[in-house]
Amino acid sequence: MKLCFKNYIHLTQAQSKAILDLRNLDYIRLNMQNSTPIAWENHVQWIQTLHDNLHKEYFALILNDTVVGSCSWVKNEENIPLWGIFFVQTINPIISSLSAYLFISYLLEDKQEETIYSYVRKSNPLALTFNQHLGFTIDKDDDEFHYLSLTKKEWQEKTHSRFITSLKKYLGKIKYEFQ
């Protein structure tokens, strides 16, 4: 089994279309900050803005040549790194959890971020629970969102939890790479 984190700037047209089609599905789109459907032409133009952009990266999650999701980090106006992730509805929970684990490790270890943040719609309790299993804690709420954070120190402590320890057992059974 091979899991590839493929940067959007390197996707084929078919892979880009698969990502856009997935992103525009109601169950994903309606849980995003920008819940407006995105047209193909706008998507292609937006991908061009990602070249040489040091403030954001978007990756397609490709499992055995099939697009199964996406993960990203974006630094907002205050230079705060926000992470996001979404999957096809049929994703194996082990694959989704491993993808999140690997991506968070990438952000905190490879990209050397000290803290990463997440905004989760209050109407999306599954995403909230998913983030919390990974070690994120709620910092504040408003009418629409939970605002969460995860520090490098908290992540290092969380890697000894039963959830993360059980995930690590699967790392030897999967090949993964960032492209």
pLDDT tens, position by position, 85-102 = 999 999 999 999 999 999
- For residue 88, the domain's CATH number is 3.40.630.30
Separation between Cα atoms, residue 150 and residue 179, nearest integer Å: 25
**Domain encompassing residue 47:** 2-178
pLDDT tens, position by position, 116-150 = 999 999 999 999 999 999 999 999 999 999 999 99
DSSP H or E run through 2: strand 2-7
AA identity, residue 90: T
pLDDT score recorded for residue 129: 95
Question: Mean of the per-residue pLDDT values for the chain?
Answer: 95
pLDDT score recorded for residue 150: 97
pLDDT score recorded for residue 166: 87
Separation between Cα atoms, residue 88 and residue 67, nearest integer Å: 8
Separation between Cα atoms, residue 116 and residue 83, nearest integer Å: 7
Q: How confident is the model at residue 6 (pLDDT cuts 50, 70, 90)?
A: very high
* Residue 32, CA distances (Å) to 29, 124, 166 in order: 5, 10, 29
pLDDT of residue 33 exceeding 90: no
pLDDT of residue 67 exceeding 90: yes
Q: Cα angle at 25 between 21 and 30, to 5 degrees?
A: 135
| Tally of structural domains, the chain | 1
* Residue 170, CA distances (Å) to 10, 25, 65, 66, 160 in order: 27, 29, 19, 20, 15
Coil, strand or helix at 16: helix
Separation between Cα atoms, residue 118 and residue 146, nearest integer Å: 8
Average pLDDT of span 158-162: 85
Separation between Cα atoms, residue 147 and residue 117, nearest integer Å: 7
pLDDT of residue 50 exceeding 90: yes
